[in-house]
Amino acid sequence: MKLILLGAPGAGKGTQAEMLSAHYSIPAISTGNIIREALKKGTEMGLKAKSFIDAGQLVPDNVVIGIIQERLTLDDCKNGFILDGFPRTIPQAEALDAMGIEIDKVVDIEVPDELIAGRMAGRRVCEKCGASYHLEHKQPEEEGVCDQCGGKLVQRKDDHPDTVLDRLRVYHEQTEPLKDYYAKTGKLRIVEGQDEVEHTSALTLKAVEDLSLIHISEPTRP
């Protein structure tokens, strides 16, 4: 199973990626996390990324794509993977297609901007491994400490209220067009994010497994 998760920053892609990863026993691949891992390991593309980061510049598309390509060649991706945060633009999607990778499903998690702003204010991220938490919806066992690696939980600069609206604007301009790109392939499934994480998870899993469903907005009932 090869999946892409789309959605605005704060829509809950990371949480759903973790759920799908556990359900299908395939890796959830976050762009930010694999760039950090490539830097740590000193891979060819990681070193290229470092040169831009050290210069205070954004890592260009060709380097990000190279890091993604490196990651997808690892053994744990043989049975599939979940891409969270990639592609972000039409050119990145075209580059993924050019790799010859056949994506099975693209799930777009839709949440209104005003709800996202509230969610992001409470989000915390492990500064060591990148695991994501929330002050209300996904608390760690020990306050301020990552369950997975014991790292310190921090609020990213990107999640500060004064930057959230700008991030959403960029998403609508650059990433949202991917919905049309993948709709044309018949692989797009739209999930309306719910108030309860478990309801969104149920809908996301249903979207992946049911070929006939295109737009899913009601939680699964027992």
For residue 97, give the CATH number of its domain.
3.40.50.300
Cβ contacts of 155 within 8 Å, gap of 6 or more: 123, 124, 125
Number of domains in the chain: 1
Note whether residue 140 is domain-resident: no
- Which are the catalytic amino acids? 13, 88, 123, 156, 167
What is the pLDDT confidence band of residue 84, given thresholds at 50, 70 and 90? very high
- In the DSSP assignment, the letter for residue 213 is -
DSSP code per residue over 134-201: ETTTB--SBTTB-TTT-PBEE--GGGSHHHHHHHHHHIIIIITTHHHHHHTTT-EEEEEPPSSHHHHH
- Above pLDDT 90, what percent of the chain? 55
Provide the pLDDT for residue 58: 72
Q: Note the pLDDT tens digit of each residue in 121-161.
A: 888 999 999 898 998 878 999 999 999 999 999 998 878 88
What is the pLDDT confidence band of residue 5, given thresholds at 50, 70 and 90? very high
Note whether residue 138 is domain-resident: no
Note whether residue 63 is domain-resident: yes
Q: Note the pLDDT tens digit of each residue in 190-206.
A: 999 998 889 999 999 99
For the record, the structure tokens of 198 come out as 């478990």
Note whether residue 170 is domain-resident: no
Note whether residue 199 is domain-resident: yes
Note whether residue 119 is domain-resident: no
pTM of the model: 0.78
Domain span at residue 32 reads 2-111+177-216
Note whether residue 96 is domain-resident: yes
Note whether residue 55 is domain-resident: yes
